[in-house]
Structure 1
Amino acid sequence: MGASVEELDTATLRVAFGVVALTLLFLFYFVTFRRTRSVYSAWWCGALALFLVGSAAYLLDGSVHQVWANPLGNALLVLGAVSVWAGARTLRTAGPPTWQILAGPAVTILVSAFDNPSINDWSGGGVFLGMMTLFIGMASWELFVLKRYYSKIRQPLAIASGLLAVYYLGRWLTFLAEGPDGPTFTAYFDSSITTLITLVLLVVVSFSMAALSNEQVTHDLHLRATRDALTGLLNRSGFHDLAVNELKRMRDTQMPGALVLADLDHFKSVNDTYGHAAGDVVLQAFAAACEGTVRSTDLVGRHGGEEFIVLLSGADAHRAEAIVAQMSRRLAATSLPEGLTAPTVSYGIAPIDDDGADLSAIIASADAALYEAKSLGRNRAVQGLSARKV
């Protein structure tokens, strides 16, 4: 017997979805990924491929192959949603660990396989819809929490993915309440409607994804230009650019502050005794101690070699002394490779007043205080005089 009109419409839409997904995958791979090589575009290419193959698996429903094709289709579509989330996450931080990527699809395929997939078109439907809701929602959240300056299209993409997550939430709850044959589910959430909505979003979102991929590459290049490769802190030029703007803001708001120069005592002996690899470990440990002590709004940079620089907004010189003491305690408590002892640290602190002194003069004041700290026997903090405008 021939397929019903509803089945034919769903099958036709799935074929159209597959054709569009294949076209977008081809264009995105050759036009965007091969040019940018961004991590985000790689995840989006993977998502398109998974959506394509997963949707194609459903075309085998009603045949003898449904028993394996239906669970596989569910798992691949969930993995596609995971890829969308993982890609969005790479815009902000590192990608998720492997177990987080595979856990959702693994649960989906197991539940689907034990839910009579040979005769049940909706085998594992509750888990499948729940997983799609979860991962699309997580992708939307990653875009919402992305820094505003990162991209102009961040918010529209977050809203679009958020609306799709809400739609899948309604689909999931309706499925649990009345099943796939219920009147509400059939009228608003069946496969043909969902395929059409997803098809339109796929086309619209793919063009935005290309822009995000380009912006990720630009962002990565900016980080490489302003960050120290070993410690991850701001490098000298990156610190200088941000500190100039922060000094202006502090003076406009009449906020006190302090600039700190820190130097690891007898660092050369660490390299000479244990090797440069051990020296790198110590530098990374002190960088972590600095970041773990200061606020996220403070600036921390590697000034050069074993010397570090910190700009503390809102902290006077006495507060700065307490902060650097905490840095030293954190460094001393750090677990280092056997035989390696954390060095002590000397600090020069320059108070920042509203006298109009520029950054170079403030750094010179902190450097003079640091020189005095070392001449007094190291392992101490010395306050310098307020810098004066030259």
Structure 2
Amino acid sequence: MQLDPRSITVMTALMAAVLGAVLLGVRRNYPPSIRGLLPWSLAPMACALAAGVYAMQGLLPDPVVAQSGNALLLAGCGLFYFGSQRFFGRRVTWRLWGGIALLSLAVLTWFLIRPDYRLRVAVFTGTMTACVLAHARLVLRDGRGFAARLIAGTLLLQAAVLIARGLAAFWVDGPASSRFAMTTVQTAYIASYCFSALLLSVGVLLMASERVREEFELLATRDALTGALTRRAVLQAGGEEFDRWRRYEQPLSLLLLDIDHFKQVNDRHGHQTGDRVLAEAVAVMREQLRATDRLGRYGGEEFVILLPSTGPEAARASAERVREALAAHEPAPGIPPCSASLGVAWTQPGDASLDALLARADAALYRAKAKGRNRVE
């Protein structure tokens, strides 16, 4: 069955308009930290307007249809790209691509004055290809997950179609050819534009949703004040490390740390100052830990540090480094210094769960407090 390019263009306009409206509506439900949704919402709408203008060929003067449609389609392509730049926290290069688009439109105007449809197709597809490939490079570099792969794959396929259309113009078209010529090449080109607009809109919506899920997961596993793992998250990680010890017999140690005299800090300086003491203490502790170690807030001013693949001697050395770093740390002006007491425990034959280590570390911590604090037991 021979498809009508004009009908495909009209359907593309309707689909893109609906997708743009959906994106514009759902962006209100996303947190402000998810950036780029407005350009992404406007992009399919610009593509819809471009398709609508193209479909009016024969009703409006050809130069008006050609340049208005080309400008809107370039704007839609650029808006998809600018939305991704904002989403990934990159500088938005709208001036650069705006200049390229204006230069391209100026060249296209010349080939309207001296008509040559083939050269117009070559210039336009070349400009679009450059923008699409820049967008694909950004997503491949900064994106991750299924949505990013969907967007990158769609962009690369779109670039391949654009290149093929630009080259084919010199074989299948003539200087006076029409945009809606009933050729297989032109029909495939317009149809691919329809599907790419659809897939890009779906892809950016999925990518924004994945980012929201990541932020919720981060909130669920990170203590809002200190950035350390929450009690639940660190105990879950500890359970996984304990299972690894039982299965592979890799050593596992655990530190239980308590900030000394923290109640006095709150009573004398206020809870806001106490919060800053905890935040600074966590920052100091992190500097003394390995990438594989896990630091979690156990409750109040008490913290748990998991030390995978670490035996008793190495664990005690790590605890001493943390204690000395806290004692030597010079806090910001107005923040009182702090020290910490630490209890060290490690896996032993007969341990049935992580609770056994926590109980021994807790007993060691109370011995450290009883012996004067600011020490490791």
Please report the TM-score for the alignment, with normalisation by the length of structure 1.
0.70
Flag the 1:24–1:41 CA change in 2: closer, same or farther, 3 A.
farther
Alpha-carbon distance, 1:334 to partner: 7.0
- Distance in 1 separating the partners of 2:292 and 2:41: 39
Gaps of at least 5 residues in structure 1 are 1-7, 87-94, 147-153, 383-390
- Residue of structure 1 in register with 2:43 after alignment: 50
For the residue of structure 2 that corresponds to 1:303, the secondary structure is: strand
- Distance in 2 separating the partners of 1:246 and 1:321: 19
2:102 is matched with which residue: 102, 113, 118?
Answer: 113
The one-character-per-residue Cα deviations of 1:288-325 (angstroms, maximum 9, x if unpaired) are 34444434443321111111111111011222233344
- Residue of structure 2 in register with 1:368 after alignment: 363
- Residue of structure 2 in register with 1:162 after alignment: 152
In structure 1, give the amino acid aligned to 2:42. A
1:18 is matched with which residue: 13, 35, 39?
Answer: 13
Alpha-carbon distance, 1:338 to partner: 2.5
- Residue of structure 2 in register with 1:77 after alignment: 77
For the residue of structure 1 that corresponds to 2:367, the secondary structure is: helix
In structure 2, give the amino acid aligned to 1:167. L
In structure 2, give the amino acid aligned to 1:313. P
Q: How much identity, in percent, do the aligned residues show?
A: 24
Choose 1 or 2 for highest CA Rg. 2
Q: CA RMSD in A?
A: 4.3
Alpha-carbon distance, 1:233 to partner: 2.3
- Distance in 2 separating the partners of 1:196 and 1:348: 67
2:350 is matched with which residue: 332, 336, 355?
Answer: 355
- Distance in 2 separating the partners of 1:262 and 1:329: 13
Flag the 1:202–1:335 CA change in 2: closer, same or farther, 3 A.
farther
The one-character-per-residue Cα deviations of 1:94-139 (angstroms, maximum 9, x if unpaired) are x543xx2522x33100222244256165778656533322323433
- Distance in 2 separating the partners of 1:349 and 1:185: 79
Contact 1:293/1:326 (8 A) holds in 2:
yes
In structure 2, give the amino acid aligned to 1:375. A
Flag the 1:171–1:64 CA change in 2: closer, same or farther, 3 A.
same
- Residue of structure 1 in register with 2:318 after alignment: 323
The one-character-per-residue Cα deviations of 1:209-240 (angstroms, maximum 9, x if unpaired) are 77776666665555444432212322222322
2:226 is matched with which residue: 228, 231, 250?
Answer: 231
For the residue of structure 2 that corresponds to 1:119, the secondary structure is: helix
In structure 2, give the amino acid aligned to 1:134. A
Flag the 1:79–1:209 CA change in 2: closer, same or farther, 3 A.
closer
Flag the 1:206–1:73 CA change in 2: closer, same or farther, 3 A.
closer
Contact 2:34/2:211 (8 A) holds in 1:
no
- Distance in 2 separating the partners of 1:304 and 1:49: 47
Alpha-carbon distance, 1:143 to partner: 5.1
- Residue of structure 2 in register with 1:285 after alignment: 280
- Residue of structure 2 in register with 1:258 after alignment: 253
- Residue of structure 1 in register with 2:266 after alignment: 271
For the residue of structure 1 that corresponds to 2:351, the secondary structure is: coil
Answer with 106-115 or 200-209: which moved more.
200-209
Contact 2:40/2:204 (8 A) holds in 1:
no
- Distance in 1 separating the partners of 2:69 and 2:283: 50
Gaps of at least 5 residues in structure 2 are 55-61, 111-119, 175-184
- Distance in 1 separating the partners of 2:346 and 2:224: 29
- Residue of structure 2 in register with 1:135 after alignment: 135
